[in-house]
Amino acid sequence: MDPAELGDVLAAQKGDEEAFGRLVRLRQGLVTALVASRVRGRSDVEDLAQDVFLRAWRRLPELREPERFTGWLARIAVNAALDHRRRAAVRPRGASLDEGGIDPPADLPGADHGLLVREEFSRVLEALGTLDDRSREAVVLRYREGMAVKDIAALFGDSPAAMAMRLTRALRTLRERLP
Amino acid sequence: MTGGPTPDLLPSDPRPPADPCEECQALLLLVAAGEAEPADASRAAAHRTSCPSCAAEEPALRAAEGRVAEALRAVEPPSDIAGPVLARIRAGEAGGPPLRALPGGRSRAGFLAGKRAGWIAAASAAAVLLLAAGVRPVLSGKWWWELERRPSAPADPAAGEFAAFVDGTAAAGLGFRHHAPLGDLRWMAESVGSGAAAADLDGDGDCDLYLADAWALDSGRPEGAGGRLYLNRGDGTFEDATEGRCPDVPERVCGVLAADLDGDGNRDLVLAGYGRVRVLRNRGGADFEDATEAAGLPAEPTSWFTCAAAADFDRDGILDLFVTRYADQESYREGMRRLSTEPGREGIWRGLPVFAGPRPLEPQGDRLYRGLGGMRFEDATAGLEGQEPRYSFQAVATDADGDGLVDVYVATDTQPNILWRNLGGMRFRDEALEAGCALDAEGKAQAGMGVAAGDPDGDGLPDLLVTNFSNDHLTLYANRGRPGKPSFEDRSYPSGVGPASFRYLGWGAAFADLDLDGREDVVVANGHLYPNVADMPDLGVSFAERLQFFRGLGGGDFAHAADGAVKGNGTPRVHRGLALLDADGDGRLDLLATTLGGGPALLLNRTPRAGRQWIGFRLRGTRSPRDPAGARLTLVAGGETRTRELRIGDSFASSSEPVLRFGLGEAAQAERIVLRWPSGAVQELPPLPAGRIHEIVEPE
């Protein structure tokens, strides 16, 4: 874990709001990606991402291993999305640009390059939407956040071997669906 | 990943079992992530070499990984949500800021404030990162002193008047005096003091004592200085039997333990000295001879050995030794001599001129000696994988993860503590950081002085209590581990030992059921390192301090007992070592606390028993060492399960009487007694009556 991030986690646990704000900026992409992988609608995603951080702020005293903040936050995000889905009775599916879920970066240099990224981004998200929930979350944690396989496994209560197998199957599926 | 993937690892997955190529690709994914065990990586590579389809698929999957990662990392939220989140927090929507209250109702708010909290957190974070990267830094400065000083918590009413002691030192005939130069302490090594060993040394069934001694570094040995042997007359009084029975020991000695090293039925002595580890062989009847040379323990003039612990780490039936070393005080002294600088005031602590230490002294690594039998040892320190120098004060040998192998936990001064997990074959790996017992809950290394192990929460696994410098707290690590996977949770504050310990500097400590109610209590021997702390009265600390008691409430929680709640604890002393024993044979645990530059304190337990029962077990190994350190006994009494582990070298510089003692409350007998010997043998015992010590011999 980056020492600055860990420092912010420790400070936030002691009530430092500015430190928590830095954590929000650092991890809002992760939370948004996790939430968007289960929840449709741009406004719902944004509201729910905010709710996730509010829950995290409230529960920070319960976090006994600050170096595991990322995984802990991810679990809150996943649970929040599940709660939301239960309440809204929304059929789970992957988000896409067409459904107004999340956006690719807007400040890419060069219109052509930006267009290519946007198309690629859309294709990957569509393919992700075909995975089962757990595999999709594992892929996000592994390839967006760079979390260790063993840490993701611990988060889901799996063995590292089982998680490696899950990721392999997910990659095979994604490869088939990404021309 | 060990043992390779198996098809049933994904029981919830509806897909059919994995084919060999899928298993291979999963392993290759772990290899690419840098998380595969070497054996698994080799196996996957071998499969890929012989399987063309696998070889072709791997680069495609790695490419897919890159493509997915690139796309996902471009994901950003619709807008920066930090502003709205903070606005909602400030509006009270999140239910208020964290840490207004901790479990148990103990406030931690205001403990750290503002910028100070920020840089402490940053320092902690840097330490964690460096450690995670395999770097063992010397943490700079004494930043832990900068914690806000808080008054000690008031006594918890739950503690009540739970224990009573009388000072039996003089009546017992313990005339020993420690020879530290209290009025002229120039070097840190002079202020660390010495401990005591309590054990039956002459084989007559009662508990004898050996008290270690040390004196000034810059002057010769004072008249009358040296360790003393006291034999129990059987009535709780002692006879000084040093002359003619105990050879003279030239070193200044800090730590001492008593154990039957050669299995001849007589307990020997191990002395952790300034410049040498020395062993005194007991020829029977507490008649000792110096066996150091024959034992293969060389002189090491610059080694400052502090404490020793004994256990059979390799399960060969012979006790091994783990000896901590602190720092190279001698080289520092030589440097000061060359500079012609007057020592003793070159350091600074809270504005006070004090002797230097731990920095800039060079820390030293610990020593592991493998017992070969017949009082001979070989240096097995190389088995401490990747050991780097630390300021080690004390080690305790305990099976931290319950796998049957005795591990070693080391309290270190200002550096992360160490958990040497026993891998078998005299190989150890430090897993303290991963296990959560290197740093405190706030991620900082503390100034560890001593450590005790016990089972106050009754789960059968050893919890750890680390004593620390003043202006910091006792640290209680509750064991949450499983075999092969040690894990601890810092419960210092929720348990109740943290808040009340802040202004004391602790050394020896013990878990002990002092009131025989079936729950382990805590006692800590306090005393400051710096004699001139009284020059700064606003600090609220003093050189001489009282013992501190916490009454066990069960479940790993404690109530702080005020001075008045423990009768006979009115005298402040500069305590150092602490040993538990039953000096007078009444079944209640007495305390022997050593002091710096003074006499010991033998506090006889006079807690009213009010019908409370006790039981004790004296163990004799056969396949295990005769003194079977590491043996673990679990019993049920009154419907409650309790566990004790035999540890030799169990407190700072000291070693308690090697008898497993239990308070039983009102239960008249112990039931369902199971004893796990260090050899691995498990012995079940029939129900046994309370009120006596039972001799148990390991089945051949």
**Segment B96-121 mean pLDDT:** 32
**DSSP secondary structure of chain A:** --HHHHHHHHHHHTT-HHHHHHHHHHHHHHHHHHHHTT--SHHHHHHHHHHHHHHHHHHGGG-S-GGGHHHHHHHHHHHHHHHHHHHHTPPP----TTTT--B--S--SSHHHHHHHHHHHHHHHHHHTTS-HHHHHHHHHHHTS---HHHHHHHHT--HHHHHHHHHHHHHHHHHH--
Q: Do B60 and A150 touch (CB under 8 A)?
A: no
Closest by Cβ to B71, choosing from A16, A53, A120: A120
Contact partners, residue B194, CB within 8 Å, separation at least 6: B178, B211, B212, B213, B214, B227, B252, B253, B254, B255, B256, B576, B577, B594, B653
Query: A60: nearest CA in chain B?
Result: B98
Which of A143, A159, A166 is most worth mutating to test chain B (most B CB atoms within 10 A of its CB)? A143
Residues contacting residue B521 through CB under 8 Å, at least 6 positions apart: B162, B163, B511, B512, B513, B514, B515, B549, B550, B551, B552, B558
Q: Confidence band (pLDDT; 50, 70, 90) for A40?
A: low
Residues of B in contact with A160 (CB under 8 A): 1, 30, 35
User: Dihedrals φ, ψ of B168, to 5°?
Assistant: -105, 15
Structure tokens at B658: 């090697």
- Kindly determine whether residue A178 and residue B132, on different chains, have CB atoms separated by under 8 Å: no
Supply the pLDDT for residue B266: 98
**Is A32 within 8 Å of B25 when comparing Cβ atoms?**
no
- Whole-number Å distance between alpha carbons of B307 and B254: 7
Cβ of residue A166 closer than 8 Å to a chain B Cβ: yes
**Structure confidence by residue, pLDDT tens digits, B152-179:** 334 555 666 789 999 999 999 999 999 9
Q: Given a cut of 70, is residue A117 above it in pLDDT?
A: no
Taking only the tens place, the pLDDT of each residue in B508-528 is: 999 999 999 999 999 999 999
Q: Who has greater pLDDT, B107 or B551?
A: B551
Of A11, A167, A175, the CB nearest to B29: A167
Helical (H) or strand (E) element with B55: helix B52-73
Q: Which two tokens stand for residue A139?
A: 């892929």
| pLDDT higher at B14 or A4 | A4
A 118-157 residues inside an 8 A Cβ radius of B: 120-121, 123-125, 128, 139-140, 143-144, 148-150
In B207-267, alpha helices (H):
none
Chain A: residue whose CA lies nearest to B108: A14
Residue A75: which pLDDT band, with cuts at 50, 70 and 90? Answer: confident
CA dist B596 → A59, A136, B229, B257, B353 (Å): 46, 63, 18, 18, 20
Chain B environment of A148 (Cβ under 8 Å): 33, 35
Residues of A in Cβ contact (< 8 Å) with B61:
168, 171-172, 175
**Residue B684 pLDDT:** 94
**CA proximity to B595, closest of B176, B207, B186:** B176
CB B112 to CB A14 under 8 A? yes
Q: What is the pLDDT of residue A42?
A: 62
The chain-wide mean pLDDT, for chain A, equals 75
Give the gap in angstroms from C-alpha B28 to the nearest C-alpha of chain A: 9
Residue B135 has pLDDT above 90, yes or no: no
CB contacts under 8 A, A 46-85 vs B, are 46, 49-50, 53-55, 57-61, 64-67
Cα separation of B135 and B51, whole Å?
A: 40
pLDDT-derived band at B108, boundaries 50, 70, 90: very low
Contact call for B125 and A4, based on CB within 8 A: yes
Supply the pLDDT for residue B296: 97
Q: Which residues does chain A have within 8 Å of residue B89's beta carbon, measured at their own beta carbons?
A: 17, 20, 54, 57
Q: Nearest-CA distance from A89 to chain B in Å?
A: 23
Angle in degrees, CA A46, A51, A52, rounded to 5: 100
CA distance A81 to chain B (A): 15
pLDDT of residue B157: 56
User: A17 contacts in B (CB within 8 Å)?
Assistant: 86, 89-90, 97
Q: Is residue B163 within 8 Å of residue B591, measured between CB atoms?
A: no
Question: Which stretch of DSSP H or E encloses residue B376?
Answer: strand B376-379
Q: What is the distance between the alpha carbons of residues B339 and B297, in angstroms, rounded to a whole number? A: 33
pLDDT in tens, B175-191: 999 999 998 999 999 99
Summarize the confidence of residues A132-151 as an average pLDDT. 83
Q: What is the pLDDT of residue B563?
A: 66
Contacts of A152 in chain B (CB under 8 A): none
Q: Average pLDDT, stretch B254-274? A: 98
pLDDT digits (tens, 9 = 90+) for B30-41: 888 888 888 887
Find the closest chain B residue to A2 by CA distance. Answer: B129
Provide the number of CB pairs (under 8 Å) joining chain A to chain B: 225
Residues 6 or more apart from B73 whose CB is under 8 A from it?
A: A29, A143, A144
Shortest Cα–Cα distance, A121 to chain B (Å): 5
Q: Span A110-121, mean pLDDT? A: 46
pLDDT-based confidence at residue A100 (cuts at 50, 70, 90):
very low
Locate tokens 């100070």: which residue? B116
Residue of B nearest to A32 (CA): B77
Residue of chain A minimizing CA distance to B113: A14
The ipTM is 0.74
Q: In chain B, what residues touch A24 (CB-CB under 8 Å)?
A: 81-82, 85-86
Q: Each residue of B664-687: pLDDT tens digit?
A: 999 999 999 999 999 999 999 999
At CB < 8 A and 24+ separation, what contacts does B534-543 make?
B535/B352, B536/B350, B536/B351, B536/B352, B539/B149, B539/B350, B539/B470, B539/B471, B540/B149, B540/B151, B540/B503, B541/B470, B541/B471, B541/B503, B541/B504, B541/B505, B542/B572, B543/B574
pLDDT score recorded for residue A90: 39
CB contact (8 A) between residue A50 and residue B81: yes
- Name the residue with tokens 């988060």: A155
Instruction: Tell me the HSE value of B332 on the side-chain side, using a 13 A CA sphere.
Output: 26
Reported as a single tens digit per residue, the pLDDT across B1-25 is: 333 333 332 333 434 445 778 888 8
pLDDT at A112: 37
Angstrom CA distances, A42 to A39, A61, A100, A126, A132, stand at 9, 31, 5, 16, 21
Q: Using pLDDT thresholds of 50, 70 and 90, give the confidence band for residue B100.
A: very low
**Mean pLDDT of chain B, nearest integer:** 86
Residue B570: the pLDDT is 81
Q: Which residues of A touch B126 (CB under 8 A)?
A: 3
If DSSP codes are grouped into helix, strand and coil, which group holds residue B4?
A: coil
CB contact (8 A) between residue B84 and residue A13? no
Residue A5 or A160, more confident:
A160
What pLDDT was estimated at residue B47? Answer: 82
Considering only the beta carbons, identify the residue of A21, A32, A55 that sits closest to B75. A32
Question: What pLDDT, on the 0 to 100 scale, is given for residue B155?
Answer: 54
Residue B477 to residues B103, B112, B120, B556, B567, Cα–Cα distance (Å):
16, 22, 21, 10, 29
pLDDT at B117 over 70: no
Of B81, B89, B112, the CB nearest to A28: B81
pTM > 0.80: yes or no? no
Q: Above pLDDT 70, what percent of chain B?
A: 86
Chain B touched by A160 (CB under 8 Å):
yes
Beta bridge partners of B465: B452, B476
A172 touches B: beta carbon within 8 Å = yes
What's the DSSP call for residue B652? T
State mean pLDDT over A49-66. 87
Taking residues B650-664, report their average pLDDT: 98
Decide if B98 and A169 are in contact by the 8 Å CB cutoff. Answer: no
Other residues' Cβ atoms within 10 Å of the Cβ of residue A70: 21
Most confident region among B30-34, B41-45, B46-50, B290-294 by mean pLDDT: B290-294
Domains along chain A?
A: 1-91 (1.10.1740.10), 104-179 (1.10.10.10)
- pLDDT, tens digit, for every residue of B400-453? 999 999 999 999 999 999 999 999 999 999 999 999 999 999 898 999 999 999
pLDDT of residue B225: 97
pLDDT digits (tens, 9 = 90+) for B308-355: 999 999 999 999 999 999 999 999 999 888 888 788 888 888 888 899
What is the average per-residue pLDDT within B619-642?
96
Query: Which of B49-53, B70-74, B166-170: highest mean pLDDT?
Result: B166-170
Q: Which of B18, B26, B72 sits opposite A144 (nearest CB)?
A: B72
Residues of chain A positioned with their CB less than 8 A from the CB of B23:
165
Q: In a mutagenesis test of the A interface, which of B72, B442, B480 is the best target, namely the one with the most A β-carbons within 10 Å?
A: B72
Which residue of A1, A50, A149 is in closest CB contact with B30? A149
Q: What gap in Å lies between CA B342 and CA B384, rounded to an integer?
A: 38
Nearest to A57 among B5, B67, B89 (CB): B89
The pair of structure tokens assigned to B400 is: 């931290």
Q: What are the pLDDT digits (tens) for B527-559?
A: 999 999 888 777 888 999 999 999 999 999 999
User: pLDDT tier at A119 (50, 70, 90 boundaries)?
Assistant: low
CB A168 within 8 A of CB B8: no
Residue given tokens 């090491």 in the structure block: B300
Looking at beta carbons, which residues of chain A come within 8 Å of B29?
Answer: 149, 164, 167-168, 171
Residue B67's DSSP bridge partners are: none
Distance from CA of B101 to the nearest CA of A (A): 9
| Whole-angstrom distance, CA of residue A10 vs CA of residue B112 | 11
CB-CB under 8 Å, A148 with B22:
no
Instruction: State how beta strands B613-620 and B693-697 pair.
Output: parallel
- B293 or A85, which is more confident? B293
Q: B102: exposed, middle or buried (C-beta count within 10 Å: 0-12, 13-18, 19+)?
A: middle
Chain B neighbors of A66, CB-CB under 8 A: 443
Give Cα A35 to chain centroid, integer Å: 6
- The nearest alpha carbon in chain B to A160 belongs to B1
What's the rounded mean pLDDT across residues A138-154?
83
CB contacts, 8 Å: B67 with chain A? 120, 124, 178
Between CA A58 and CA A50 the distance in angstroms is 13
Q: Is the pLDDT of residue B241 over 80?
A: yes
Residue partners of B4: CB distance under 8 A and separation at least 6: A161, B23, B27, B40, B43
